[in-house]
Chains A and B, each alone.
Chain A
Amino acid sequence: MSNLSNLYREIIMDHYKNPRNKGLINDKSYITCHIKNPSCGDEINIESKVENGIITDIRQDGVGCSICCANASILSQVVKGMKVSDAEYFLDNYLKMVSNQEYDESIDFDELQVFDGIKDFPARVRCASISSQALLNTLKKEKS
């Protein structure tokens, strides 16, 4: 059970209880993506604002398990301020890390590194992925 204890570290509990960037702005300058995991009911909305190729704001809202909600909160902090192209590379590799695929280990995932442990719980990979997938979708929409 130590792996599980490791996963539910202070950082995840902190973001679950005190979520950052929570609540949607519903402003036209933001692009929104909603993703739901129908098997467990996790539901996440991600809004991103891009100005001159830089992600200047990320908002998040949703319901779900602690992993899912904490992930949205941490993600919103870590990716804010990145260039869109850097964020896409970053998120792509983050998703590879949590799904136990080869990834660029030189990347500093900051507080998102804690989700490295999710690979020991394959049933929870989706919980730690849907916010990143939603954010990637908003960035794609931004380009189109």
Chain B
Amino acid sequence: MKELFPIYEVHKDLVYLDSSASSLKPKMVIDAVSNYYNNYSCNIERGIYKICFDATRICEDARQNIASYLNVDSEEIIFTRGASSSLNMVASMLKDILKEGDEVIVSELEHHSSFLPFLRLSKTIGIKLVFVELTPDGHITVENFKKALSPKTKVVALTHVSNVLGYITPIKEIIELSHKNNIIVSVDGAQAIPHFRVDLKDLDADFYSFSFHKCFGPTGLGVLYGKKKYLNMLEPVELGGEMNSTVTKDSVTYKDIPYKFEAGTMPIAEIFGASKAIDFLRSLDLLKEEEKAISLRNIALSELKKMDEIIIYNDTDSSSIISFNIKGVHSHDAVSYLSESICLRAGQHCAEPLHNFLGVNATLRASFYYYNDLEDVKVFISKIKDAINFFKEVGLIV
């Protein structure tokens, strides 16, 4: 698959194992972004000249394409700056219907983008955050979720897939349980959409957020899916151009959904590219590709487990991520050595509460995706062995 990604022509020996942060982009997506700048380059919605009309149509086709991929209506698809922006919008929108003492269920697995907007609401309006107790190895379970439920629970804000451990939350069961108790569920799908087809109608989440740059698409664009009943009811977070229908000196009426949530000029080139990213996902046998990525990851994992100097934090066989450390070596020291030849993530991955849970200051993360191959695994393992030898030589590993 590497031939579809122009970056491999520039960096022929690239070993890219940081797809959980951002995936590489295929040529068809890059071409679509260029197509906008080369052939349109105008605003959308605001003009009646031909290139404006055509660009507007392409953006609306993109919205329809994304909506049908997720099995929802296009008016439920709001374009945002990314998953972080979507998740912030959810908390800001729900602020109006939450009050002091209401409980919001979160977890230590959450990315800061999912968790912090509700942490702020706990400080400003006095909602109470309730954490689902994780299993000792870091999973969210339905049983533990039930324990977190109370008559005061109003919102559940959980990740679909952990960005550090790769564990999948039993979110469908959690949504069912929540809805039985009239609880609104917001799901962070940033790490799910890149790895499996999500049918939002079947999942029945009330809000679902993701970014395109993690699933072959451009940076700077995400989606907030929201159920019509909530989008119609809730106030827009941002006000400005094109989201309103009538403005006087002392009043405003908003456009219908989704436009009332899209103030100002949208990232048009990115929307062109996002539609092609969805086409690219559609063209793949996702189950087969995911199985291949996981099997590459598991080959790497089994090699790492042979090394006494390695500690693994997600010893499961169903993730495409390996979270690990070289014992005695801070991840930033390790990655300075490894980054000469491998793109690997080191740090807290915007999930500090999870690192506190794991009892570790920072971790290394290798994430495998569909363009990775056995050669990447071989280079990865060989460089890890070299790194261990290097840190033994300088005395960090004794």
Enumerate chain A interface residues (CB-CB to B < 8 A): 1, 4-5, 8, 10, 13, 16-17, 38-43, 63-68, 121, 123-124, 127
Contact of A4 (CB < 8 Å), options: B336, B346, B352: B336
Instruction: Count A-B contacts at CB 8 Å.
Output: 58
Instruction: From B1-9, B283-291, B388-396, give the one contacting chain A.
Output: B388-396
Whether B394 and A41, one on each chain, are in contact in the complex, defined by CB atoms closer than 8 angstroms, is: no
CB-defined contacts of A17 to chain B, threshold 8 Å: 395
Interface of A is mostly: mixed
Cα–Cα, bound, A68→B333 (Å): 10
Tell me the B363-398 residues at the A interface (CB within 8 Å). 390, 393-396
Whether A13 and B394, one on each chain, are in contact in the complex, defined by CB atoms closer than 8 angstroms, is: yes
- Highest count of chain B CB atoms <10 Å: which of A5, A8, A63: A8
Is B201 engaged at the interface, CB distance under 8 Å to the other chain? no
CB-defined contacts of A5 to chain B, threshold 8 Å: 390, 393-394
Closest B residue to A5 by CB, please name it: B394
Whether A121 and B336, one on each chain, are in contact in the complex, defined by CB atoms closer than 8 angstroms, is: yes
Give the size category of B's interface with A. Answer: 20 to 34
Is B187 engaged at the interface, CB distance under 8 Å to the other chain? no
- Highest count of chain A CB atoms <10 Å: which of B333, B352, B395: B333
Whether A40 and B348, one on each chain, are in contact in the complex, defined by CB atoms closer than 8 angstroms, is: yes
A–B complex contacts, Cβ < 8 Å, 20 sampled = A1-B340, A4-B337, A4-B340, A4-B390, A5-B390, A5-B393, A8-B333, A10-B395, A13-B395, A39-B347, A39-B348, A40-B348, A40-B362, A41-B355, A65-B330, A65-B333, A66-B330, A66-B333, A123-B336, A124-B336
Whether B332 and A40, one on each chain, are in contact in the complex, defined by CB atoms closer than 8 angstroms, is: yes
Question: Closest approach, in angstroms, between the C-beta of B13 and any C-beta of chain A?
Answer: 16
Closest 3 CB pairs of A and B: A65-B330, A65-B332, A8-B394
Is B302 engaged at the interface, CB distance under 8 Å to the other chain? no
Whether A40 and B337, one on each chain, are in contact in the complex, defined by CB atoms closer than 8 angstroms, is: no
5 further A-B contacts with Cβ under 8 Å, apart from A4-B336, A41-B361, A41-B362, are: A1-B337, A4-B390, A5-B394, A64-B332, A124-B332
CB-defined contacts of B330 to chain A, threshold 8 Å: 64-66
CB-defined contacts of B346 to chain A, threshold 8 Å: 40
Is B191 engaged at the interface, CB distance under 8 Å to the other chain? no
Cα–Cα, bound, A91→B332 (Å): 24
CB-defined contacts of B35 to chain A, threshold 8 Å: none
CB-defined contacts of A64 to chain B, threshold 8 Å: 330, 332, 361
Contact of B396 (CB < 8 Å), options: A39, A66, A68: A66
Question: Closest approach, in angstroms, between the C-beta of B7 and any C-beta of chain A?
Answer: 20
Contact of A127 (CB < 8 Å), options: B332, B352, B395: B332
Question: Closest approach, in angstroms, between the C-beta of B323 and any C-beta of chain A?
Answer: 14
Is B144 engaged at the interface, CB distance under 8 Å to the other chain? no
Contact of B333 (CB < 8 Å), options: A41, A43, A67: A67
Closest A residue to B394 by CB, please name it: A8
Is B319 engaged at the interface, CB distance under 8 Å to the other chain? no
CB-defined contacts of A41 to chain B, threshold 8 Å: 347-348, 352, 355, 361-362
